[in-house]
Structure 1
Amino acid sequence: MTRVEAIHRAIRDIYGAVLSPDDWSAALALISEAIGAHKVVLNEAGADAAGLAVSIGVDPVNAVRLRREFANRLPDWIKAIPVGTSLRQSSAISDADFRRLDIYNEVVRPEGGFYSIVAPLARSPRRQVHFLVGRELGAADFSDADLDAANLIVPHLMTALEVQSHLAAADLRAQTAFDVIARLNVGVILFDAALCPVFVNPYAEVLAARGDGLLLNSRTVAAARHSDTQDLRRAMAAAVVWHDISRDSREAAIRRVAPTRCYLLRESPHLPLVVSVMPLCVIDVVSEWNLARGVLFVLEPDSPLSPDLGVLGTTFQLTRREVALASLLVRGTDLEDAASQLGIGIGTARGYLKRILAKTDTHRQAELVSLLLRAGMQIVR
């Protein structure tokens, strides 16, 4: 294989490793061949995480030592190299001075190496990346041609690592979104262009498990009744069409997307499930979000109400007894029954209600209940 062919293969595998991190070792092996090195190290360190650390031809113990030296005692001659520039060690420091450095005595000498080419790939307070190729002790220094090969490869390493960093951030954002959606007290279903579910949160899974109204499997979102299924799938298809790439992008950007609503009938006495269908625009996010083209929000109108009592008390400065009465009224209990359950007289209950109305700036019990439902609604579990 010629050097040019080796460089091309190395660059190809560098970008392949972005999507398959386990392939970084194979990519470094090709870099080693292209530059004529015996050892290759790619070391990334960040303020929040250890980052990428991969090497070939280096003893694992010495790789850890090198990582520590780069993090804590980086030589000044490496600090002076501009980001994106490959530099021969012998161009920056004499062999005699190099032998006196901690990094030589702690890592390079135990590893049996000497000459190297070093390139900083990123340098900021939060992230530093260094690329290093080395030769064994007794081998000749790197030539100009070797340095030229490194200079051809380094820009691609920088680009690949930047892409990998963006993908990792996108993964984190996606995971955070999934964690939030999983806790919502409403059913959420993401579906792809084929109308197949790609993500179902726990609340939707519970609704589907009842087999009444909403039906789910790995390939289909459906309803218990055929006519409801047809309505639902028409609405889902309309959401997918919104993503048609032939649509003028400016139109898509300014067009207000109103949800389409469907109703999935259930067995009496249960009320129908209310489903809102909307297109989902996902940019720069990986995993399931990449496939999603629409989202279903499934509401259960007759689900038991359980307002957050702590929120009600703090928001409206209600006493413990006032909160207890308010929570019963929100659940539909009339004032007389509420007084009985609390073990108080109806006159005392009316006094509590009067104070609650004053604190919430409401005038009728129905208005009060509506306000308390909105204020105390538990959005997440």
Structure 2
Amino acid sequence: MTRVETLHRTIRHVYEAALVPANWSPALAEVAGSLGAQHASLIVQVDGAPSLTVFTGLEPKHARHLQHEFETRLPGWIKAIPAGTLRRQTTEISEADFQRTDIYNQVVRPAGMFYGVVAPLVCLPDQQIHFSAGRDLGLTDFSDDDVDTASLIIPHLTTAVQARNRLAAAELRAKGAYEVIARLDFGVILLDARMRPIFVNPRAEVLGRAGDGLSLKRNEVSAMLQSEAKGLRDAISMAIGMNAAGRDASEAAMARQASMRCYLSRRPPRRPLVVRVLPVDATDFPDGISVATRAILFVMEPDGPSGIDQMALATTFHLTRREAVLATLLARGMDLAEAATQQGIGLGTARGYLKQILAKTDTHRQAELVSLLLRSGIQIVS
């Protein structure tokens, strides 16, 4: 196999490991082999805690010692290596000084190694990623060709590890996000671009099963009355169309918001359900909710409980009382004009409050704000 073929195979295995965690050990062995090394380690810390540790060619006790050194007392000569750069130990520290280090005496010498290379892949306050490889005692030092080979692999290894971290975090956030939405005391339905439900929380399911106003099917959200069904479909279609045009639901579409609110009649004496349709795009749900979401439906019962802990909301995001009230109204599906009327303030004042809320929550649009609140775990539950 040629050097180019070996590189391609190694890089392919590295990216496969990002998708299938069980493949990290063989992928690291491929990386070590491409450098002519018998031992290698990949140590990842996120927010000061171990996130991924992979070793090849090392006994468990030696691997534990090496992990401890990298995570708790990283040597100064390794700290001095620029991120994304692989260096030979012999160019960074003299052999005499190296033989006095803890890494040498607790890992390298007991494991029968001597020459090594180290690459700090990422060096950030909240993320540290280090790769190292070593050769058995008696073998020659890593050559310039070996370092050049590593320089072609290191960027891909860095990208794969970061992709793995994002995927793992997204899976946890997705689980948490849906669990939070599932506990909401009002109906929430996420729709894709073809107006099909992606996710329906339990409260919306209860309302749909009641056959009283809302109609829920596997591939359709509708209303029990035909006249109201058309209005709901039109509102959803409008929201998705606005999203496709890249328009902001909270501002650019203000004049059209009234037609994106529907009332679904229920049997007396129950008051009609209020359905608000909010357009979203993939950037509005970056943390955990399906990026296929293109519209979100809030199904509210005017005679139902509020269940929103405005104090917790204010404390969490450092909002004023009025800002917290406005945020909770928006989280329940009201548009800015409706929320302003509910609070007894002018639309201009509400816009000013919204601007402050967006700044404090580090969001940029009403849909993104609603996404954050739905995922935050704030008590907007019964």
TM-score (normalizing by structure 2): 0.70
Bigger mean CA deviation after superposition, 216-225 or 65-74: 216-225
- Residue number in structure 1 paired with 2:89: 89
- Residue number in structure 1 paired with 2:131: 131
How far off is 1:227 after superposition? 4.2
1:120 maps to a residue whose letter is P
- Residue number in structure 1 paired with 2:253: 256
How far off is 1:147 after superposition? 1.0
5+ residue gaps in structure 1?
312-377
- Residue number in structure 2 paired with 1:350: none
CA distance in 2, matches of 1:306, 1:155: 49
* TM-aligned CA distance change 1:48 to 1:230, over 3 Å: farther
CA distance in 1, matches of 2:29, 2:197: 41
Q: Map 1:164-175 onto structure 2 (within 5 A).
A: 164-167=164-167
CA distance in 2, matches of 1:147, 1:141: 11
- Output one character per residue of 1:303-355: Cα deviation in whole Å (capped at 9) or x when no partner: 367899x99xxxxxxxxxxxxxxxxxxxxxxxxxxxxxxxxxxxxxxxxxxxx
- Residue number in structure 2 paired with 1:341: none
How far off is 1:196 after superposition? 2.0
Bigger mean CA deviation after superposition, 256-265 or 172-181: 172-181
Q: Is contact 1:86-1:150 (8 Å) kept?
A: yes
SS at match of 1:243: helix
- Residue number in structure 1 paired with 2:365: none
SS at match of 1:203: helix
* TM-aligned CA distance change 1:253 to 1:17, over 3 Å: farther
* TM-aligned CA distance change 1:44 to 1:183, over 3 Å: same
CA distance in 2, matches of 1:203, 1:298: 9
SS at match of 2:45: strand
- Residue number in structure 2 paired with 1:290: 291
1:302 maps to a residue whose letter is D
- Residue number in structure 1 paired with 2:53: 53
* TM-aligned CA distance change 1:189 to 1:92, over 3 Å: same
How far off is 1:155 after superposition? 2.3
5+ residue gaps in structure 2?
313-378
- Output one character per residue of 1:197-241: Cα deviation in whole Å (capped at 9) or x when no partner: 222223223322333322334433233344443432332232222
How far off is 1:296 after superposition? 0.4
CA distance in 1, matches of 2:162, 2:169: 11
* TM-aligned CA distance change 1:267 to 1:59, over 3 Å: farther
How far off is 1:298 after superposition? 0.2
How far off is 1:297 after superposition? 0.5
- Output one character per residue of 1:236-283: Cα deviation in whole Å (capped at 9) or x when no partner: 232222233xx4x58899623526122323334333222111211231
Q: Is contact 1:83-1:120 (8 Å) kept?
A: yes
CA distance in 2, matches of 1:253, 1:228: 24
The higher radius of gyration belongs to 1
- Residue number in structure 1 paired with 2:6: 6
How far off is 1:80 after superposition? 2.1
Q: Is contact 1:167-1:285 (8 Å) kept?
A: no
- Residue number in structure 2 paired with 1:150: 150
Q: Map 1:233-244 onto structure 2 (within 5 A).
A: 233-244=233-244
2:74 maps to a residue whose letter is L
Identity %: 49
How far off is 1:70 after superposition? 1.0
CA distance in 1, matches of 2:247, 2:273: 35
SS at match of 2:65: helix
- Residue number in structure 2 paired with 1:215: 215
- Residue number in structure 1 paired with 2:363: none
How far off is 1:106 after superposition? 1.6
CA distance in 2, matches of 1:137, 1:217: 68
> CA RMSD, aligned part only?
3.2
How far off is 1:127 after superposition? 2.6
How far off is 1:153 after superposition? 1.5
Q: Does 2:184 correspond to 1:184?
A: yes
TM-score (normalizing by structure 1): 0.70
SS at match of 2:290: helix
Q: Does 2:206 correspond to 1:206?
A: yes
Q: Map 1:1-381 onto structure 2 (within 5 A).
A: 1-167=1-167, 177-244=177-244, 247=245, 249=246, 255-256=252-253, 258=257, 260-283=260-283, 285=286, 287-303=288-304, 379-381=380-382
SS at match of 2:49: coil
How far off is 1:117 after superposition? 1.0
CA distance in 1, matches of 2:31, 2:292: 34
User: What is the count of residue pairs matched by the alignment?
Assistant: 311
CA distance in 1, matches of 2:131, 2:35: 13
Q: Is contact 2:173-2:287 (8 Å) kept?
A: no
* TM-aligned CA distance change 1:304 to 1:100, over 3 Å: closer
* TM-aligned CA distance change 1:42 to 1:274, over 3 Å: same
* TM-aligned CA distance change 1:204 to 1:60, over 3 Å: farther
SS at match of 1:52: strand
CA distance in 2, matches of 1:175, 1:48: 23
1:151 maps to a residue whose letter is S
CA distance in 2, matches of 1:253, 1:306: 24
Q: Is contact 2:191-2:197 (8 Å) kept?
A: yes
CA distance in 2, matches of 1:265, 1:104: 76
